[in-house]
């Protein structure tokens, strides 16, 4: 845990969804590190060893960058320590996709990056978790509560709202947009899907024989919050709001031992059951996210949170990239098989879309 995520936004959408206010009060839109937007592949079913979007301080690449400037990069999931002497990361005989917050200062693989300020934020629509039951395991998709009408600077929904989904307000599809201006500034806040922001550490490994440096990360985990304990006993360390994200990334002002205090179990996530289709990591289509009724296996009555997810994916204007040829072929077969009964989550890939901006 956490062993599978989804991140379906196109590169330009990820940038817009990560907009933040700098110290001058201006809303900024983080740019992608040179070439990294092309390395990122949107996916409904992302597993360890895959490449994913990560937010971090620009000062890791430019010591003269403003202290509050952020940058987006694409990193491989599964930390490879800088001191690893092997010629191939696959030669590592232990898993580093997750690191427990309780042990982060005890293991060299994680302690060194943490104490060097190599903190990052892993971005995702949400993550999957499997609940053990009498027969097999039931997967769930877990994500931030999606609400509309949230103003700048307003706190996130209270914990009580998580237990009453009927009180949520779905974001109208026509509002799921954000006007942009040049130089990385945005006129308004992103009103599309709210990305999950998970605390992590990263490292940079260079092959002993030389070659391109490999940036990798590990997701930090904590004890599960009360509303997730019935599914699993662990969860990612979630950073709530711009201030927590800023403090986690600001390795100059916020020292490591203070940053660790942000790694708390928080009762701020919601979830819904999904099909065991997602259990096969090769399956990569909207069916992975489709809510199911645990009794009938049919699509259940739509709640505000699931309505937000469906309407957002249905109306998203950007064309999502395919992960590879084989997955694309499998996805095509899946679509053909379910086209007659396909819901909004399956249909959104079939509609005409604009090519995403990647600058």
The answer to the question of residue 32 being in a domain is yes
Tell me if 33 sits within 8 A of 73, measured CB to CB: yes
The answer to the question of residue 357 being in a domain is no
Tell me if 141 sits within 8 A of 78, measured CB to CB: no
The answer to the question of residue 358 being in a domain is no
Q: Is 129 a catalytic residue?
A: yes
Model confidence pLDDT, tens digit, residues 11-61:
999 999 999 988 888 899 999 999 999 999 999 999 999 999 999 999 999
The answer to the question of residue 355 being in a domain is no
Res. 80: pLDDT tops 50 = yes
Q: Name 182's Cβ contacts closer than 8 Å, sequence gap at least 6.
A: none
**Residue among 306, 314, 308, 324 nearest 349 (CA):** 314
Half-sphere exposure of 345 (CA within 13 A, CB side): 20
Model confidence pLDDT, tens digit, residues 150-193:
433 333 322 222 233 323 333 322 233 333 333 344 446 788 99
The answer to the question of residue 247 being in a domain is yes
Rounded Cα distance between 227 and 193, Å, is: 22
- The domain tally of the chain equals 1
Surface-to-core class of residue 359, CB atoms within 10 Å of its CB (0-12 exposed, 13-18 middle, 19+ buried): exposed
CATH of the domain at 237: 3.90.1680.10
The answer to the question of residue 356 being in a domain is no
Rounded Cα distance between 22 and 15, Å, is: 15
**Residue range(s) defining the domain that contains residue 75:** 5-350
Q: Which residue has the tokens 């042990």?
A: 103
Q: Is 178 a catalytic residue?
A: no
pTM, full prediction: 0.76
The answer to the question of residue 308 being in a domain is yes
The answer to the question of residue 359 being in a domain is no
Catalytic residue among 2, 7, 18, 288: 2
Span 324-336, average pLDDT? 43
Catalytic residue among 7, 70, 120, 129: 129
Model confidence pLDDT, tens digit, residues 297-324:
555 555 566 666 666 555 544 444 443 4
């Amino acid at each position: 845990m956490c062993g599978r995520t989804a991140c379906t936004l196109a590169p330009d959408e990820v940038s817009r969804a990560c907009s933040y206010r700098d110290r001058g009060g201006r809303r900024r839109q983080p740019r992608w590190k040179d070439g990294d937007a092309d390395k990122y592949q949107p996916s409904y079913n992302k597993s360890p060893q895959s490449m994913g979007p990560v937010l971090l301080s620009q000062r890791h690449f430019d010591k003269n960058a403003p202290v509050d400037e952020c940058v987006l990069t694409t990193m491989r999931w599964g930390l490879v320590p800088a001191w690893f002497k092997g010629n191939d990361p696959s030669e590592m005989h232990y898993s580093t996709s997750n690191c427990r917050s309780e042990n982060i200062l005890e293991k060299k693989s994680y302690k060194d990056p943490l104490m060097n300020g190599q903190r990052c934020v892993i971005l995702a629509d949400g993550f999957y978790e499997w609940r053990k039951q009498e027969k097999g395991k039931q997967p769930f998709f877990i994500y931030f509560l999606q609400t509309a009408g949230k103003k700048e600077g307003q706190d996130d929904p209270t914990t009580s709202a998580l237990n009453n989904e009927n009180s949520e307000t779905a974001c109208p599809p026509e509002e799921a947009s954000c006007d942009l201006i040049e130089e990385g500034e945005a006129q308004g806040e992103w009103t599309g899907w709210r990305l999950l922001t998970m605390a992590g550490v990263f490292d940079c490994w260079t092959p002993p024989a030389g070659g391109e440096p490999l940036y990798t990360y590990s997701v930090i985990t904590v004890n599960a919050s009360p509303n997730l304990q019935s599914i699993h006993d662990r969860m990612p360390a979630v950073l709530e709001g711009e201030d927590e994200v800023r403090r986690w990334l600001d390795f100059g002002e916020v020292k490591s031992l203070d940053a660790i205090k942000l790694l708390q179990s928080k009762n701020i996530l919601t979830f819904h059951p999904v099909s065991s289709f997602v259990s096969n990591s090769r399956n990569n289509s909207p069916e992975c996210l489709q809510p199911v009724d645990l009794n009938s296996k049919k699509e259940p009555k739509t709640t505000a949170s699931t309505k937000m997810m469906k309407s957002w994916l249905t109306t998203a204007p950007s064309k999502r990239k395919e992960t590879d040829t084989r997955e694309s072929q499998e996805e095509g077969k899946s679509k053909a098989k379910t086209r007659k009964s396909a819901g909004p989550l399956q249909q959104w890939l079939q509609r005409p879309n604009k090519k995403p901006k990647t600058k």
